[in-house]
Amino acid sequence: MASSFVIRKNQYYDSVFLMSVNRRISEVKGVQQTAVLMGSPTNKQLLLDIGIHDNQIEAAQPNDLIVAVIAETSAIVENVLGRLDEWLEAIQENTLSLNVRTLEDGLSQKPNANLAVISVPGEYANREAKKALEAGLNVFLFSDNVSIEDELELKKFATQRGLLVMGPDCGTSLIGGVGIGFANAIRRGPIGVIGGAGTGLQEFTSQVHNAGSGISHAIGTGSHDLSEKIKGLTTLAALDALEADQQTSVIVIISKPPEASTLAALLERIKTCKKPVVGCILGVEPESVSGKPNFQPARTIDEAARLTVGLSIGQPAVPSGGLSPEMLAIIHEEKKGWSPEQKYLRGILAGGTFCYQSQQILGEAGFTVHSNSPIEAKNRLEHPDRSSEHTLVDMGEEFYMVGRPHPMIDGTMRRHRILAESHDPQVAVLYLDFILGYNASMDPVGELLDAILEAKRLSKQRGGSLTVVASVCGTEGDPQVLGLQMKLLQEADAMVFRSNALASTALCQLLGQR
């Protein structure tokens, strides 16, 4: 293995441009890992984490471009870095030229705007968000790597002015029917939702839409909002806003486990809410929060969607059908094809919420699951790239995001991981999630299809059979065409489900007694 880097002084590019360059370079045969980023302190630490370090990198400034390559041979590294100008020019030729460069430019063109979307490196996000708040704008803060101290400062500042800060690291919102970040084609309706998890919001809103109802607003909060330090400032402000909104009749909260004191304060506020509230707090036993005034807990996102749709029309929740007898029969047949040594699950996921919810469901069924983003610290993988027994990997975690697009945008890293896992003769089940919607890959299944087929071929060559389970999050109105994506998976002999929770239930059946 060989590696090297190039630094271009005072050559600044935005993150979208850098991701495009990185994707082009990473497709070169023999390239193992690439990083195309600016020389900010956070980015330099990310380079150090993947084994790229040098005094020149330490001396680089935030306006300096750094391109690092790890490849099979030094000749490949030299070739890639030697063609850097070619990569940069190719992307620049296909990049639209915009006249709007600053917040002031944007406000001059849209003086009545009340929302700013900010996606800049984390070091600069606080400054830009503060400027937007000072201008009277609510903020959707897509940027990550924003310190908890800066987040608290921004949210306190927003609260004083009656504004919302959605984020940092906010992937999804639907405001007045308009999707921001990663969002699906969802009809308007009576259900308002608040969530710290982007894929959780997408799953919930898609299920509500597919059930025939709709969303008034979906407000992302950022994953740290219910922490001890932030104390739910955006969640509480969003709850106030949805309670006052005439179009909203039911409010839903989707979250990973909050701090106990923050959850207690949130439940106290819900007591006084004039509208019913449903909560899917992953990792918190529904029994521990059941019986609270004006609050109905749900164990999964699926259950939350059923409860909420029922409440919105004044009817009991439609019970879950679970796995059909036909699906149980398919599962039984699938297991017959495994070789004696096949026994483990490998999940390679784009959605962090899905990775978490799958661990919860499998854990409740008695399975120990290892992960780079574990529910319990004792189940953390020693290294994200090295699976152990039953493993679920969140490919959107920071380790995999150094200078790369999110796996919902680009399936390259997931494809590599599928092929790597296919060489383990003990793998019986491969689980993949596919998240449709605006700003996601236009063909997420197509990007992984060759790797899926190759993995199945290798398993058959060894005398076994690889079972592929897939969940698809989306609606028929999404640009990727939901029906087509599902058909491609079915033609590849995958077991396809319309939710992560249902797919995880199938995983439990597959991993049970033969």
Confidence category of residue 57, pLDDT binned at 50, 70, 90: very high
Under a CB-based contact definition with an 8 Å cutoff, are residues 421 and 430 in contact?
yes
Q: Which of 120, 148, 169 is the last residue before a domain boundary?
A: 169
Same-domain status, 502 and 409: yes
- Residue identified by tokens 């979906």 is 218
Q: Which of 93, 109, 137 is the last residue before a domain boundary?
A: 93
pLDDT digits (tens, 9 = 90+) for 119-147: 887 788 999 999 999 999 999 999 887 89
pLDDT, mean over the chain: 92
Query: What is the structure's pLDDT at 514?
Result: 45
Calpha distance 483→148 (Å, rounded):
41
Same-domain status, 351 and 492: yes
- Amino acid 408 reads M
Q: Which of 11-25, 93-107, 365-379 has the lowest mean pLDDT?
A: 93-107
Q: Which of 139-148, 209-218, 433-442, 499-508 has the lowest mean pLDDT?
A: 139-148
Query: What is the structure's pLDDT at 290?
Result: 81
Query: What is the structure's pLDDT at 403?
Result: 65
Same-domain status, 66 and 160: no
Mean pLDDT, residues 86-107: 75
Query: What is the structure's pLDDT at 112?
Result: 92
Nearest Cα to Cα of residue 184 among 200, 170, 195:
200
**Cis peptide preceding 479, ω within 30 of 0:** no
Under a CB-based contact definition with an 8 Å cutoff, are residues 373 and 352 in contact?
yes
Q: H/E/C letters for each residue in 416-467? A: HHHHHHCCCCCEEEEEEEEECCECCCCCHHHHHHHHHHHHHHHHHHCCCCCE
∠258-262-265 over CA atoms, to 5°? 135
| In the chain, % of residues over pLDDT 90 | 73
Calpha distance 480→129 (Å, rounded):
32
Q: Which of 141, 169, 197 is the last residue before a domain boundary?
A: 169
> Is 347's pLDDT higher than 70?
yes
Query: What is the structure's pLDDT at 226?
Result: 94
Mean pLDDT, residues 229-240: 96
Under a CB-based contact definition with an 8 Å cutoff, are residues 301 and 200 in contact?
yes
Query: What is the structure's pLDDT at 204?
Result: 98
Query: What is the structure's pLDDT at 96?
Result: 54
- Residue 262, both tokens: 């923050």
> Is 227's pLDDT higher than 90?
yes
Same-domain status, 466 and 429: yes
Same-domain status, 36 and 73: yes
Mean pLDDT, residues 380-385: 96
pLDDT digits (tens, 9 = 90+) for 68-94: 999 999 999 999 999 999 888 887 766
Same-domain status, 458 and 340: yes
Domain that includes residue 142, residue range: 98-169
CATH of the domain at 134: 3.40.50.720
Query: What is the structure's pLDDT at 46?
Result: 80
Domain count along the chain: 4
Where are the alpha helices (H) located in 217-376, listed in sequence order?
A: 233-244, 260-271, 286-289, 301-312, 325-336, 352-364
Same-domain status, 136 and 262: no
Mean pLDDT, residues 376-393: 96
Calpha distance 319→24 (Å, rounded):
47
- Residue 66, both tokens: 């750094």
- Residue 238, both tokens: 């969003």
CATH of the domain at 31: 3.30.70.60
Same-domain status, 112 and 18: no
Mean pLDDT, residues 204-210: 97
What are the residues whose beta carbons fall under 8 Å from the beta carbon of 213, sequence distance 6 or more? Answer: 187, 189, 190, 191, 308, 309, 312, 313
- Amino acid 289 reads V
Same-domain status, 103 and 147: yes
Confidence category of residue 97, pLDDT binned at 50, 70, 90: low
- CA distance readout (Å), 497 to 161, 180, 502: 44, 26, 6
Same-domain status, 165 and 176: no
Same-domain status, 117 and 32: no
DSSP state of 101: -
pLDDT digits (tens, 9 = 90+) for 278-313: 999 988 888 888 888 889 999 999 999 999 999 998
Mean pLDDT, residues 166-174: 93
DSSP state of 120: S
Query: What is the structure's pLDDT at 94?
Result: 63
Same-domain status, 342 and 415: yes
CATH of the domain at 238: 3.40.50.261
> Is 26's pLDDT higher than 90?
no
Mean pLDDT, residues 259-269: 92
